[in-house]
Structure 1
């Protein structure tokens, strides 16, 4: 059960990383387009910042902390001790 949870958490985090990277590259392209007076979705990106991208970044940070905590707990309590 614990391994399944970690597996799914890592899968969600990997997908979330790619989504956050996609949103960052979209921002870069949209800002470059805006500087050349080409509409590449900067206004849409701004509208999606609060409801979509901010929670995605928060989930990424929270998931990374949760993954670290699960690993530490496993290391402290469930790994075999070599005395």
Structure 2
């Protein structure tokens, strides 16, 4: 059960890392486009910041801390 939970958490975190990386690349490209006057999706990215990217970053940090805590608990019991 414990290994299944850790495996599921790791898969979720990997998917979340890709979402955060894609969001960052989109942010950088859209910001450059905005500064040059080219519409590259800045408005849409900005609308998605609070409902999508902000929670994704929080889940990534929380999952990393939870993964670390599970590892420490496993170390203590072994």
TM-score, structure 2 normalization: 0.97
2:18 aligned residue: 18
1:58 aligned residue: 58
Unaligned 5+ residue runs, structure 2?
A: none
**Which is higher, the Rg of structure 1 or of structure 2?**
1
Deviation at 1:36, TM superposition (A): 1.4
- Equivalent pairs counted in the alignment come to 78
2:72 aligned residue: 72
Taking the aligned partners of 1:74 and 1:47, their CA distance within structure 2 comes to: 41
2:33 aligned residue: 33
More helix per residue: 1 or 2? 2
Deviation at 1:27, TM superposition (A): 0.2
